[in-house]
Chain A
């Protein structure tokens, strides 16, 4: 018996120690109590006032520390997402990491012409089918924002196309409480009613406050709708250090976390114990181009700090990775995907979104979801670490083979190579003659080939006909009532 030693070593990472977490958390509490947040929703203001927050002019609310601590305590530390067939597939919490696409990319690099054009409705189906086929993509976002669907209706249509083409959990956006209600109606039709849906949710709503320190009427409306109906919610701000937040990373983090936690307070006051994932994206504004960097090293630092904070709170935490600031798939894309995906996994973030993104959140290129999947495979292998028990130390085999011998033909090699070694699906390991013989294919070529292969062969599990008909009915009804401004139509 060997005591006091773990046989499994794994890469581990945190950047804040407990004292630093305490320092940042105290600063967050001071901002909420002394500065407050703007909450542009009358119901939320009433709720906050009724629980001891100070509501002042201009919808400004100062929140005492006790309300924040109560919300952290009452929110579940583990958020279980199911697939469309009610099998639990994601447990958001702890250091369990899951990867998926994002939403809302208005431009798409066409798979065939390779030109950058407006995103269309059929692109949503394309990215959903590709994501459904990939083992390392755990959840599905709309990826694109279709320009050929009326603006007030596109989130409804996206959701419908996604659930029709994948059983994986759907990470979805809604414009307002109104289209959210339609999406919920569709989800209820699939699950078999509101109860069944809240028991086995296969969707999570993406929603955000507005930095600095404001919650819009729409955001709060959606947040409260989700809480009341126990629809899992991800409520996290995207703050730009230097413009919508302080330029310093610590200051940016404090403001963003104050936004996230004040949202958490409203959410938990609406319905204690309702499922929520939180966290922040505190990145930098590029000071030359005035653009949002999705991959700056500063963002990775606040990402790590955010994960440490929310692990400390015991709350499921959002993450961002597998994205690039490049406008077209290229070397920058590769470097930024690898850097961000490894970092997010080391951070132990739970709901890691935006895989497959290009162009600072504006450009889609569906084959890059496959590239993200391949890179995630590599990262997952790394994160798994390795065993150091006697079987893995392999002293017996080493003795047997001896100096100058050959391990290739050992049974030990046969028994362990699949478990110990990651096998690339896309990345090249061919030698030069074989690579030339196989057509000198670059990674880009192979990704496009794989995308076409998936689209030709992969058949997502279809929805039952009566459910599909019901979704069609809901969609036709929305379309019929649509008059240019979705909110006035219902």
Chain B
């Protein structure tokens, strides 16, 4: 199949416009949404992740593949079945209250989008209540909180307790950032911890049973 292969290659090469054009063309040609999603988009990103893990490619290349993937997803999403929608988790992401460092958070957001998830980025210095309110409003599956400062990581505990107070028990909380650890994650009762952006994607997949 020419179109599926072209889209697959365009994602690997990080060619955003080519992916969008290819997906459009595929949909018009009546190719199954599921085929485009699995055979082109997801499998290309699997290879990108694999190459990154092997040290063959670097973060900017992954980002551009993720962008290309995202361009394809935007076109596919309106055509998703209920089952496909379920697999595409919605994630609320932001930097913890008092922290305005956002490179790590942005990187995680881009990687999650690249893996096919829907990401709602709240930005920096986000209060626990904002995370929880937005999660309820967006019917999110996951709240992802990032912190670089040891002084701000404490507010992550408030996100977890507030979420539990509001009876959003199905919403999982994942945390990440340089000073954090799995021990801290357990201590505050968060559901998972990603040591870096690629690990965050793997942990979200675990939380979603994917």
Contacts and interface: CB of A to CB of B under 8 A. Distances in A.
Contact of B106 (A408, A414, A418, A431): A408
B67 interface: yes
A427 interface: no
B147 to A, nearest CB: 15
B152 interface: no
B14 A431 contact: no
B195 A408 contact: no
A113 interface: no
B103 A406 contact: yes
A408 B196 contact: no
B103 A408 contact: yes
A437 B178 CA distance: 15
A414 B63 CA distance: 9
A433 interface: yes
B179 to A, nearest CB: 10
Contacts of B60: 408, 413-414, 417
B13 to A, nearest CB: 11
A271 to B, nearest CB: 51
A433 B199 CA distance: 11
Contact of A406 (B58, B102, B199): B102
Contacts of B59: 408
Contacts of B181: 433
B64 interface: yes
Given A414-B61, A431-B195, A434-B195, A409 B106 contact: yes
B195 A409 contact: no
Interface in A209-237: none
B196 A431 contact: yes
Contacts of A404: 100, 102, 124
A409 B111 CA distance: 11
A24 to B, nearest CB: 48
Contacts of B149: none
A408 B178 contact: no
B52 to A, nearest CB: 13
A404 B63 CA distance: 19
Taking chain B's interface residues, is the majority helix, strand, or loop, or is none over half, making it mixed? helix
What interface size band does chain A fall in? 10 to 19
A417 B110 CA distance: 18
Taking chain A's interface residues, is the majority helix, strand, or loop, or is none over half, making it mixed? helix
Interface string A424-461: 00000001011001000000000000000000000000
Interface string A376-416: 00000000000000000000000000001010110101100
Interface residues of B, number: 20
B178 A414 contact: no
Given A417-B58, A434-B195, A437-B195, A408 B63 contact: yes
Contacts of A417: 58, 60
Contacts of A423: 58
A434 B194 CA distance: 10
Contact of A431 (B61, B102, B103, B178): B178
B192 to A, nearest CB: 13
B191 to A, nearest CB: 17
B63 A409 contact: yes
Interface string B74-111: 00000000000000000000000000101100110010
A234 B25 CA distance: 66
Contacts of B178: 431
A409 B67 contact: yes
Nearest to A421: B58
A408 B62 CA distance: 11
A414 B181 CA distance: 31
B107 A414 contact: no
Interface in B168-187: 178, 181
Nearest to B100: A404
A213 B79 CA distance: 87
A402 to B, nearest CB: 13
A418 B57 CA distance: 10
A431 to B, nearest CB: 7
Interface in B4-44: 14
Nearest to A407: B103
Nearest to B124: A404
B112 to A, nearest CB: 14
Contacts of A406: 102-103, 106
Contacts of A431: 178, 195-196
A10 B64 CA distance: 31
A140 to B, nearest CB: 27
Given A409-B67, A414-B64, A423-B58, A434 B196 contact: yes
Contacts of B199: 434
B58 A408 contact: no
A408 B67 CA distance: 12
Contact of A418 (B58, B63, B124): B58
Contacts of B107: 408
22 contacts: A406-B106, A408-B60, A408-B63, A408-B106, A408-B107, A409-B63, A409-B67, A411-B64, A413-B60, A414-B14, A414-B60, A414-B61, A414-B63, A414-B64, A417-B58, A418-B58, A423-B58, A431-B195, A431-B196, A433-B181, A433-B195, A434-B195
Given A404-B100, A409-B110, 10 more contacts: A408-B60, A408-B107, A413-B60, A414-B14, A414-B60, A418-B58, A433-B196, A434-B195, A434-B196, A434-B199
Complex A-B, nearest 10 residue pairs according to Cβ-Cβ distance, in ascending order: A433-B195, A414-B60, A406-B106, A413-B60, A417-B60, A409-B63, A414-B64, A434-B195, A434-B196, A408-B63
